C-alpha cells in the first residue's frame, strides 16, 4: 500500500470523498528548500518532495524532528521569505502570506491572553475584516461546538491546556477556510485530553469538510485521523512512503485504540519511520 515517492494523486476510497476527478487542493511538485543558500552553513531542509491532496482529504505528515515538516507548512502559507525550488500550489494558486483560503494552527495554542475565549475565537475573522456581529455569532457557535459555550467570557488564564487548545480549534474552524494546516496541534497535551480533542477534530472535520495537512509525531494520532499518512526521512526531508489508511469512517478514536487493523498500520508505519530515520544518519 505504500506508494512510490511523488505518486500521490489518487485519493483513498472513503465515502466522504467524491472528488477524485477534481483538481488537487494542494499540489507540491519537486519541492526543494535550502536555508541560507550560498552560505557556508546552508541547510537542505526539504529534498525533492512531491505531494498532492484532493479536496476534503486529511493527510498527516510524520517524520523525525528537523525533517522539514514545519517548513512545508510554512511554504504553503507563504510565511517563508526564502525562495524554494519547485512548484507549490494551493487551490491552483501560488502561496501568499495571509491567504484567506488557509487556516494555520500551531502547536501552542497562541491564544492572546488579554482576550476572552470569545474574542480569541473571533480573532482570525477580525483580522480578516468580518463585521463584528457576524464574527461574534460564528465564534459563539464554534465555542459551543468545541464544548466551551459556557467559557466564552473567560480569559485564557482561566482555561486548562485542553480547553485552550479547544479554543484554538474554534478560532481555526471559525475562519471557514477550505484548507487547514495543523502543526502538532495536540503535541503538548496528555494522552486522554489528546484523544478527546482528536475526536472533536474528527467531528469538526466531518461537519466542515476541510482539506487538512496535519503534522504530528504521534503515529497513533496520524492513523486515527488521516486518509493518508506521509512518512518522511530524516533531514534532508524526503518522502519515504505514502500509506493509505483504509479504516472505515466515521471513526471513533477511542475504539480504534483496540482495533487490530489499527495496530497493523501502526507497526507498518513504525517500521517505515525507523527506516527513514536510519537512512540519513
Partner 1 sequence: MSKPFRITRARVPGHVVFIVALVALWEFLGARGVIDPTFAGRPSGIASYLWRGFITDRNLWNDLSYTLAAAAIAFVGGSLTAILAGLLFTMLPGLHRACEPYLSLLNAMPRIALVPLFLLWFGLGIGSKIAVAVSLTFFIVLAATVAGIRGVNSDHLVLSRALGATPGQIFFKVTLPSAVPVIFSGLRLGLVYALLGVVGAELIAAEHGLGQVLAYLQSTFDMDGVMALLLLLALLGLSITVAMNWIEKKLLVWQ
Ligand X SMILES: Nc1ncnc2c1ncn2[C@@H]1O[C@H](COP(=O)(O)OP(=O)(O)OP(=O)(O)O)[C@@H](O)[C@H]1O
Judged by the rule CB under 5 A, the positions of this chain that interact with Mg ion are 70
Residue located via cell numbers 474574542: 119
Cβ 103 to partner 1, closest distance in Å? 8
- Residue 56: exposure state from Cβ atoms within 10 A (0-12, 13-18, ≥19): buried
Shortest reach from residue 73's CB to partner 1, in Å: 9
Q: Is 97 in the site for partner 1 (CB under 8 A)?
A: yes
3-state secondary structure of 58: strand
One residue of 5, 6, 29, 35 binding ligand X per CB under 6 A: 35
- How large is the angle between the packed helices 191-208 and 132-145, nearest 10 degrees? 130
55, 74 Cβ separation under 8 angstroms:
no
Cα–Cα distance, 106 to 88 (Å, whole number): 21
Spatial strand order of the sheet with 102-105 comes to 102-105, 179-183, 211-215, 58-62, 228-232, 239-244
Tell me the C-alpha distance between 186 and 172, whole Å.
Answer: 14
Rank residues 15 and 83 by Cβ distance to ligand X and give the closer one.
83
Q: Which CB, 235 or 238, lies closer to ligand X?
A: 235
Residue 132 in the binding site for partner 1 (CB under 8 A): no
The option from partner 1, ligand X, Mg ion, none interacting with 5 (CB < 5 to 8 A, set by class) reads: none
Among candidates 27, 7, 12, which has minimal Cα distance to 179?
27
Binding flag, residue 157, partner 1 (CB under 8 A) = yes
We find the least distance from the C-beta atom of residue 187 to Mg ion, in angstroms, to be 9
Report the partner that residue 68 touches, choosing among ligand X, Mg ion, partner 1, none (CB closer than 5 to 8 A by kind): ligand X
* 98 is a site residue for partner 1 (CB under 8 A): yes
Running DSSP on this structure, what letter comes out for residue 156?
A: G
How far apart are the C-alpha atoms of 263 and 85, rounded to whole Å? 38
Handedness of CA 70, 65, 171, 229 (dihedral sign): positive
The nearer residue to ligand X, 68 or 124, going by C-beta atoms, is: 68
Pick from 174, 188, 189, 193: nearest CA to 253? 193
Q: Provide, rounded to whole angstroms, the least separation between the CB of residue 11 and Mg ion.
A: 26
Unique residue bearing C-alpha cell 493518508: 228
Q: Which does 110 bind (CB under 5 to 8 A by kind): ligand X, partner 1, Mg ion, none?
A: partner 1
Q: Which of 8, 31, 45, 243 binds ligand X (CB under 6 A)?
A: 45
In angstroms, the CA 7 to CA 108 distance is 33
Note whether 70 binds ligand X by CB under 6 A. yes
When binding is defined by CB under 6 A, the residue of 50, 52, 60, 71 that contacts ligand X is: 71
Which of 135, 235, 238, 268 touches ligand X (CB under 6 A)? 235
With CB under 5 to 8 Å by kind, the binding choice for 250 among ligand X, partner 1, Mg ion, none is none
Pairing mode, strands 43-53 and 26-35: antiparallel
Q: Which residues bind partner 1 (CB under 8 A)?
A: 77, 79, 97-100, 102, 104, 106, 108, 110, 112-115, 123-124, 126-128, 155-157, 175
Question: Residues interacting with ligand X, by CB under 6 A?
Answer: 35-36, 43, 45, 65-71, 235
Amino acid at each position: 500500500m505504500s506508494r512510490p515517492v511523488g505518486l500521490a494523486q489518487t485519493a483513498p476510497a472513503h465515502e466522504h470523498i467524491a472528488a477524485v476527478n477534481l483538481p488537487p487542493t494542494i499540489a507540491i511538485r519537486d519541492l526543494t528548500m535550502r536555508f541560507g543558500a550560498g552560505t557556508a552553513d546552508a541547510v537542505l531542509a526539504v529534498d525533492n518532495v512531491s505531494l498532492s491532496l484532493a479536496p476534503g482529504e486529511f493527510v498527516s505528515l510524520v517524520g523525525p524532528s528537523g525533517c522539514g515538516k514545519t517548513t512545508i507548512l510554512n511554504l504553503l502559507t507563504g510565511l517563508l521569505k526564502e525562495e524554494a525550488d519547485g512548484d507549490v500550489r494551493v487551490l491552483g494558486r501560488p502561496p501568499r502570506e495571509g491567504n484567506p483560503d488557509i487556516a494555520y494552527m500551531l502547536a501552542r495554542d497562541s491564544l492572546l491572553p488579554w482576550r476572552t475565549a470569545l474574542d480569541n475565537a473571533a480573532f482570525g475573522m477580525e483580522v480578516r475584516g468580518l463585521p463584528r456581529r457576524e464574527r461574534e455569532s460564528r465564534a459563539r457557535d464554534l465555542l459551543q461546538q468545541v464544548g466551551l459555550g459556557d467559557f466564552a467570557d473567560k480569559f485564557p488564564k482561566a482555561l486548562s491546556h485542553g480547553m485552550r487548545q479547544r479554543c484554538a480549534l474554534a478560532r481555526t474552524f471559525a475562519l471557514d477556510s477550505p484548507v487547514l494546516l495543523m502543526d502538532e496541534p495536540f503535541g503538548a497535551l496528555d494522552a486522554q485530553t489528546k484523544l478527546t480533542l482528536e475526536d472533536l477534530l474528527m467531528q469538526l472535520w466531518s461537519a466542515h469538510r476541510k482539506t487538512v495537512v496535519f503534522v504530528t509525531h504521534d503515529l497513533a494520532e496520524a492513523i486515527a485521523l488521516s486518509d493518508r499518512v506521509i512518512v518522511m526521512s530524516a533531514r534532508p526531508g524526503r518522502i519515504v512512503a505514502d500509506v493509505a489508511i483504509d479504516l472505515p469512517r466515521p471513526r471513533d478514536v477511542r475504539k480504534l485504540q483496540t482495533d487490530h487493523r489499527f495496530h497493523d498500520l501502526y507497526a507498518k508505519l513504525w517500521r517505515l519511520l525507523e527506516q527513514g530515520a536510519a537512512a540519513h544518519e
